Amino acid sequence: MKILILGGDGYLGWPTAMHFAARGHEVAVADNLGKRFWEAEMGVTPLFHIPPLQRRVRIWNEMKRGPKPMKLYIGDIAQNHRFVYHLFEDFRPDAVVHYAEQPSAPYSMVSRLQAVSTQVNNVSGTLNVLFAMKRYTPAAHLIKLGTMGEYGTPNIDIEEGWIEIEHKGRKDRMLFPKQPGSFYHLSKVHDSHNIEFACRIWGMRSTDLNQGVVYGMETDETAMHPELLTSFHYDEIFGTALNRFAVQAVAGMPLTVYGAGGQTRGFLNIRDTLQCVELAAMNQAKEGEFRVFNQFTEAFSVMDLAHKVKEAGEALGLNVAIANVENPRIEKEAHYYNPKNTALFSLGLKHHPLTQDVIMGMLKKIMSSRDVIDRATINPTVKWRKS
């Protein structure tokens, strides 16, 4: 297949591009390098130095791991629709994996500026992609990275995107109600609605992958060369909970559990993200179909994660403490949480469970860069409700 990776410079985009190329697909990556700007804006960097995307693509192509060299397009899909149209006219993908969005809830809550830029970047970019696909590749399959955060924490079971409801004696199948928790998560809800509309009206085909929180730093392909690594964030803006806790454990800092720590979410290993995207690509949605897969493998509370990291850290001789800190977010800290995730498993997903060995492996790799940890960027400063 010809597979286009939008957001190919990112934490998930770059490993996904190599994963497909290593399996014989013709791959192109596109990015505006915006994540690097947002990192500089917030004064944070990944734990390990990440070479420019151009260099990583060049190194990959020199290794000759795919049937054709990986193609690279640099441009902004949100601000430059002509770039998007050229991209689709030139490459003509069979499948599009769309990661090209501002990925951080805290970033979107910093101020009006970041909230607006998040929504413009994410929503406009997706709309430009939809119109480009309609014009040049109407039969292509759009695989869009959504988030489990679109649902929030309702007091009912979370179905996979759709729900059968009965109201005043009548029944219908409708999109599951959304209760997003940040302007970032809201942008993802807008994406879902726009894509469903395009499928229903234009006959496009799409899979919305409502992904849980991803952890981990290495895949088979990133391990092939020291400069093929992907970004690993631990800061309060871009660092996900488990990644952040692991760095705090190595740095000798208390693991900062927001509030009581009962917030429960779906999680998955970065290797399982690649599996899920591949399963979606190899099992395409039908014409006019907007399907939703809840993409996670296990559910844990924040406190569960903290205790797992503490146990693994102490097994390595680290002195790990847990600290409950004031929750900067507006969210339920004790709630019902029972999301369904059967679709991907029915397609053959074989997940990597979060074991002590997995966490210990992360901790050992982080120890190699202990001296460059920027402790000042970890503890929360962005608050959902300003005082």
Q: So which residues are the catalytic ones?
A: 147, 184, 188
Sign of the torsion angle spanned by Cα atoms 309, 315, 317, 319: positive
Two tokens, residue 184: 């970032």
CB burial string 275-295: b at 16+ within 10 A, e below: bbbbbbbeebbeeebbbbbbb
Locate 341 and state its tokens.
């995730």
- Which helix (H) or strand (E) segment holds residue 233: the answer is none
Question: What's the DSSP call for residue 58?
Answer: H
Task: Report CA 268 to chain centroid distance, whole Å.
Answer: 10
Question: Strands, DSSP E only, in the chain?
Answer: 2-6, 26-31, 71-74, 95-98, 141-147, 162-167, 170-175, 205-211, 213-215, 255-258, 264-269, 290-295, 298-301, 322-325
Partners of 141 in the beta sheet?
Answer: 95, 205
* H-type alpha helices, 68-182: 81-91, 105-108, 112-119, 125-136
CA distance 67 to 22: 9
Closest residue by Cα to residue 269 from 348, 337, 350, 338: 350
